[in-house]
Structures are given as structure tokens and as C-alpha cells.
Structure 1
Amino acid sequence: MDFLRTPEHRFHNLPDYPFEPRYVEVEGLRMHYVDEGPADARPILMLHGEPSWSYLYRHMIALCVAKGHRVVAPDLIGFGKSDKPTDINAYSYQQHMDWMQSFLDQTELTDITLVCQDWGSLLGLRLAAENSDRFRAIVVGNGMLPTGDQKVPPVFKLWKGFALNTPWFPVARIVNLGSARTLTKDEMRAYDAPFPDKTYKAGARAFPALVPIAPDDPAAPANRAAWKVLETWDKPFLTTFSSGDPITRGGDAYMQGRIPGAEGQPHTTLQGGHFLQEDSPMAFSNAIIDLMARMEA
């Protein structure tokens, strides 16, 4: 498989991202992750989505670690400091699942609290359902596990067409537009850092087209099987959606109604856009920290 590796100098002097890089090899590709906090603490696994990377969680990593927690935040293949296959056809929903399963097995994480958003939810909820004995709780912000049986917002269809067809795919501007606040110049540089040119962006372009939007989608059967598990999930399940995301709006209520572990949880609506990690990192972190405290009580 042909792939590119972003030169390390692209990541020098990024604001608020002092974390030591760590790597595992998944099917011949190098996958980067952050692992901060006490090694013997129960891990919080933070999964990013499209078209971001672990930099998205920089403030939340620091806040959770400051409270004594361990945080693990990988860069999905095709993103961040992880290797980037150059052929868009190298990416599929199942291939991303296989890469993440390999990551989970190699890091030997257990007693995991999952925190996920966007494609981090499409992968993370499947991962938790397929490895339920290794997860103790789930926190979802602006995410879902689609099966192709639900209606798709018109704005998503526009986004899918844009990602596949536009000659210009401005990653940092996309993150900026999806945030309620305006990112700084250095933050914009950080989101563009993984992608020196368009040849590095196949994974980012691929993601929207991989979302199951029809019942016969290749990923639909596995996602329906995952929902069978989630419909019996009685461990804590917390939603922390934002107030201003047109794509995932209503998904929190949908999951609260289907997942037993959501009952009685202090679900909250955070202020912000799609990238609530940029808009409400402290409130998002506090929801996680409070959940961890309740589970330890």
C-alpha cells in the first residue's frame, strides 16, 4: 500500500500540544497516539473525527490529566501524525475498524471510558459494542452510529459532494467553519499541519462517502449488530451534544431513548458548533471528569 508520512517539522511549535508522540504499527502503517497521565489509571479514550486529529482534544487532554486521569488519543490512519495511504480506495469503514481494533489490541486498553465525536463516534461506538467487556462508559458529543435506515440531513449530502469533488479541500477552514469561535492563525496552522499538499488528503476526502446512508450500505449489517449490543448497554452512557450542529442535531435524544445506560445520566447541551472540543473544552471535560467521579464513588 502506498502511503505518505507527514514530515515531523510540520508539527513543531503547535500551540497547547506539548505531548510526547507514541506509535504502534497497524497492518504496515504507523499510527500515532497521545498517552498522558498515570499509566495505571483507567484510560479515557478520545476519538476524533473528520477532518481533525488528536490536536482537537488538546485542551481536554490537559484538563483531564490535571485531575489525575489517563488520556489516550490516537490519530486515525490518514490523519494527524499517522501514516496516510494515498489511494482513496484504500479507505473503507471496515478498514478503519480493523486499524482501530489493532490499536486497541496492541495498547491492551481495558476499563475504558470512550469519548467520541463525529467519525470518532462511528468508529468508537462500533468498537465499544464489539469489545464491550473492555469499556466501562461512553460519552458521545455530536456523533451517531448510522445504519443507513435513517434520513440524512440535506447539509450532509452537500458536504459529501464537496469532499469528493472540490479541487480545493481546506482542512483548517473546514474546522474553523464548524466551530462557533474563530480559530487563531496558529491553530489553523495546526489543523493544516498533517497535510502538506493534496496528495496527503485522501483519507480526509474519503470519510463523508463512507457514512452509511442507505440500508444496503456495506457497513450497515455490522452497525445494526452493534446497535443490538447498545440496546442492552446498561453501563453509563452520557450525551454532551452542542447547541449548534446542524448535522447531528437530535441524535442525543435518539440515543437516550434506545440505550439503557443513558437513563438517569446528567445529559447536557454544550455551547458551540460541530467541533465542541474547540468551543466548550472545559464544560466537555467537566462532564467527563464528573462521570469518572460518579463511577468511582
Structure 2
Amino acid sequence: MKPDRAGSRVPTGYFVHKEWPYEPRFKRVNGWRMHYIDEGGGDPVVLLHGNPAWGFLYRKFVKPLTAAGRRVIVPDMIGFGLSEKPVREQAHSLDGHIANLTSLLRQLDVRNATMVCHDWGGPTGLGFALSNSDRVRALVIMSTWAWPLPPAEFHKRIFPWRMMHAPLAGPYLLGKHNALAGRGMYLSVVDRKKFQDEAQSAYESVLPDPGSRLLTWTWPRWIPLDETARGFRRFEWLERELKRSKFPTMLVWGREDEVFDHKTFATRFKELLPHAEGPELVTGRHFLQEDSGAEIAKKINDFLDRIHERQP
């Protein structure tokens, strides 16, 4: 990667992998260059990743969903994957990421969409859905959250979480040594040998230098730990609006997830969305797509088929 005139990192080439044979596409969103893939036809399914992943996380979803007659859109959030990577922390806020996603999906005139939300793709995708309800048909929610407090117990620990994102330790561990895309993701799957052999390099290679890794240690600072947190009001809004939501919803969770454990977080979503199906439990720690991608894709297809059957 090379810096552009604004100081951001712009991918100079395309990612090549046998499991990612998709045409790269780009749109300008709020001044940044966003990468996405857009495959198939029919009602759109938008697959949203979190930190420190990118669209590759959903590689096992694309063919089953397109084969079922659905259009699949997989964006890379600004700062990740093949999208542009601002090197100023001010470029990254939850509201900013919601605005970037909104710009992309409006440019693509996405309507009747199913939003598949995981990790930071949860607050981001739900933020889009709740403010663009005329464009959204259904929600699939996986290993995420959408309320201010309490955060996961995991995020309150001094070690390793809060230390990793401290002013000096964050740039050193996650910036210089790419610890989150490397060791962090490795520890967050069940079949670690398979992940190491088939996927780990795909996450590390798109974050090749410290300047490209800023978001891996700055985005988590938006997780509210108390009422003074800068993201607190946005999460209050998400919780309030989600309670009013009538979107058909399915919850899918990894049985082994320790970051957002299903007993706490899936249960909380069920309280907010009592009409939601699930939680459907699958093999998986936090990055459950790595262990159960094809199974989750089938659950999404079946869920959307059921919605279609219920329509008059």
C-alpha cells in the first residue's frame, strides 16, 4: 500500500485467493474509496464484518446465497480489507461508519435488503437499518451488541483487552505486530489448524504495515465502558429504536463465543426483539463464520424462505 495525498492507505493491487474469485468493485463514500463485491441477483443480502476482519470472512456464504436466487453484497468497512485506510483516528467513529455504509447502499439503490450483522457490523448495520427502514426487509444478528451498558465482561478486563487499546500498547501490539488480525483471530475460532492453513494469511496480508492497522486498535475505543463514553448516546439510540423494530429477525450465535457469550447477549437481543427466531447455536467462537459458514448460510436461506412463505 502507499499513502495518498490525504495520508490514507490505498490498496495498490487486488487480493487473489482461490476461495475469493469475485470481481472487486469500488465506490466513493464520504470521500473514501470503499471496496465491495456484488454477486448474483434478486433481493439483496448485505454481509457485514467487524474488527479486524473484512469481506473474506463471508467467503462460504456467497455461493449458497447466490445459488438460492439472492443478490449478495459484501462491503469492506473503510479502514479494512481492500477499502481505503485513513491514518487519522478522527476518520473513525461509529456514526462515520454508519454514514459510509449508508452512502454505499444508497448508491447501489439497495432495497428489500436482509442485513447480516456481526461484531462491529452489528451497530453499523443496525444503525443503517433503523434509519433506512424503507430499504430493509429482515435482520440476521450474530455475536454483537446494540446497547450502551453493560459491555461484555471481556471488554472490562484490564488484561488483555483494555491494555491492548491503551495509547502506547495499542499501537505497539496491534499496530506494529498486527496482534488482533494474527493471534487474536486465531484464538477466536474453534478449528485453529484449519484457520491457520486456509485463512489467517488473508486477514494479515490486507493489513501489511502499522499505518494500515489504525482501526484495529482505535475502533474498540468506541465500546462504552461508562456513561461518559463517546459512543454512549448512539448506543442508547440503537437500543431504543431496536425495541420498536418489527423486522423479521433471526439470531445466530457461536456456542463457544467468549467475547459475546450467547447466554448473555443472544438472550438480551431476544428481550429486545421477542419476535426474533433463535438463537440458532452453531460451532464457533467469536468468528463463527470461519467454523460454520456453510451452515449459517443455509440457515439464512431457510429463514428468508420462511419469510417469503408468510407473505400474503
Do the structures match in fold with TM over 0.5?
Answer: yes
Aligned to 1:173: 183
| Contact persistence 1:15–1:187 (CA under 8 A) | no
CA distance in 2, matches of 1:127, 1:161: 31
TM-fit CA distance, 1:35: 0.7
Cα separation, partners in 2 of 1:15 and 1:189, compared to 1, 3 Å: farther
| Contact persistence 1:15–1:186 (CA under 8 A) | no
Aligned to 2:266: 252
**What CA deviation, in whole Å up to 9, does each residue of 1:229-265 have, x standing for no partner?**
2112122111001101112112111111111431xx2
TM-fit CA distance, 1:220: 2.1
- Within a 5 Å distance, the mapping from 1:45-56 to structure 2 comes to 45-56=46-57
Aligned to 1:90: 91
The residue type paired with residue 77 of structure 1 is I
| Contact persistence 2:38–2:72 (CA under 8 A) | yes
Cα separation, partners in 2 of 1:100 and 1:162, compared to 1, 3 Å: same
**What CA deviation, in whole Å up to 9, does each residue of 1:175-207 have, x standing for no partner?**
221111121435222111211211110112211
Q: Which of 158, 161, 171 is residue 159 of structure 1 equivalent to?
A: 161
| Contact persistence 2:147–2:238 (CA under 8 A) | no
The residue type paired with residue 254 of structure 1 is R
Aligned to 2:296: 284
Aligned to 2:3: none
Q: Which of 7, 12, 18 is residue 12 of structure 2 equivalent to?
A: 7
CA distance in 1, matches of 2:308, 2:124: 27
1:223 and 2:235 are equivalent in the alignment: yes
TM-fit CA distance, 1:154: 3.7
Q: Which of 195, 201, 221 is residue 189 of structure 1 equivalent to?
A: 201
Aligned to 1:150: 150
**What CA deviation, in whole Å up to 9, does each residue of 1:77-99 have, x standing for no partner?**
00000000112332122221221
- Within a 5 Å distance, the mapping from 1:19-30 to structure 2 comes to 19-30=22-33
TM-fit CA distance, 1:25: 0.1
TM-score with structure 2 length normalisation?
0.88
The structure, 1 or 2, with the larger RCO (C-alpha pairs under 8 Å, 6+ apart) is: 1
Question: How many equivalent pairs are there?
Answer: 290
Cα separation, partners in 2 of 1:55 and 1:73, compared to 1, 3 Å: same
| Contact persistence 2:119–2:145 (CA under 8 A) | yes
CA distance in 1, matches of 2:156, 2:294: 28
Cα separation, partners in 2 of 1:253 and 1:80, compared to 1, 3 Å: same
| Contact persistence 1:115–1:138 (CA under 8 A) | yes
Q: Which of 275, 278, 294 is residue 261 of structure 1 equivalent to?
A: 275
Aligned to 2:19: 16
Tell me the secondary structure at the aligned position of residue 35 of structure 2.
strand
Unpaired runs of at least 5, structure 2: 1-5
| Contact persistence 1:159–1:208 (CA under 8 A) | no
Aligned to 2:58: 57
- Within a 5 Å distance, the mapping from 1:26-45 to structure 2 comes to 26-38=29-41, 41-45=42-46
**What CA deviation, in whole Å up to 9, does each residue of 1:263-290 have, x standing for no partner?**
xx24311111100000111221111001
- Within a 5 Å distance, the mapping from 1:196-235 to structure 2 comes to 196-235=208-247
The residue type paired with residue 131 of structure 1 is N
Tell me the secondary structure at the aligned position of residue 32 of structure 1.
strand
Cα separation, partners in 2 of 1:121 and 1:214, compared to 1, 3 Å: same
CA distance in 2, matches of 1:156, 1:273: 19
CA distance in 2, matches of 1:129, 1:214: 24
TM-fit CA distance, 1:172: 3.1
**What CA deviation, in whole Å up to 9, does each residue of 1:130-175 have, x standing for no partner?**
112211111111111131x324414554324214424122313322
TM-fit CA distance, 1:127: 1.4
CA distance in 1, matches of 2:199, 2:251: 27
| Contact persistence 1:42–1:110 (CA under 8 A) | yes
Identity of aligned residues (%): 29
